[in-house]
Amino acid sequence: MLTTSILFERTSPDVGLLTINRPQLRNALNWEAMDSFSAAVSSAHEEPNLRVLIVTGSNGTFCTGGDLYELDQYPTRLDGARLAGTMGDALKALESLPFPTIAAIEGPALGGGAEIALACDLRIMAEGASLGCMHIRLGITPAWGGGQRLMRIVGYSRALEWLAIGRVLSTSEAQEYGLVNRIVTKGQALEASSLMAEEIAQRDPDAVRSAKRLLQAGTGLSPNEALAQERAFFPDLWEAPAHLEASARFVSRKNHRVRS
């Protein structure tokens, strides 16, 4: 079920855009928005020929997590399990998309919003934006996978320090610790993400998907198992038309230069 709180569209034949659209509440997610977010990710899985998905927020804000004005009315353990499960499953599905995902971050990406950004493969952050798993300030911890994803990027000790304090990072700090790929001028995160998405979409989709799979293998398998998977992807790509045609073009250009 998609609603106006979450928008999903194709911005080009190859690129999808998921927009969190609750600007009156700094794009905080209520139950309806969480269900709609999950449905949008499911739609992305089913979209034919999609090569990249961009995730962003409307009106200069990425996402400030859960909508406490609504969620505060659901205080039980079962409500907590529902909250953890709904968006935890949605972000696991986002992470498992076979093609790259890009978080276009304007303004704050806080709490659950930071978890959404961390579930994306790539992150572009505008100047003046912020990123932080500040759950501890509400007496809770990440539950949508953000703690594990943060630890994989910055390491155990630093992740624990930030989660225990509720640290919010500036753009420069996020880049310093490897949490973002690029910093751009304020207001340009979506445009820069779109340019990156189109650049990725120009590459052979099977090779791009294999690149994502081989790197993800390294996060969940032993080094030897991950290496075996990386090697296993290669033979099919080697004999695929995309490689054969690209190799032939390279050889032809080199032979032409030699003859000249």
Instruction: Parse the chain into domains and list their residue ranges.
Output: 6-201, 205-259
257 pLDDT above the threshold of 70: no
Confidence of residue 259 (pLDDT cuts 50, 70, 90): low
DSSP 54: E
- Condensed to tens digits (0 to 9), the pLDDT of residues 155-214 reads 999 999 999 999 999 999 999 999 999 999 999 999 999 999 999 999 999 999 999 999
Output helix, strand, coil percentages for the chain, rounded to the nearest 5: 55, 15, 30
Helices vs. strands in the chain: H and E counts, helices first: 11, 9
pTM: 0.94
pLDDT digits over 115-148, tens only? 999 999 999 999 999 999 999 999 999 999 999 9
pLDDT tens-digit readout, 27-82: 999 999 999 999 999 999 999 999 999 999 999 999 999 999 999 999 999 999 99
Q: How many CB atoms lie within 10 A of CB 236?
A: 11
Fold of 6-201: 2-enoyl-CoA Hydratase; Chain A, domain 1 (3.90.226)
Cβ neighbours around 101 below 10 Å, total: 22
Separation between Cα atoms, residue 117 and residue 55, nearest integer Å: 8
Indicate the average pLDDT of the chain: 95
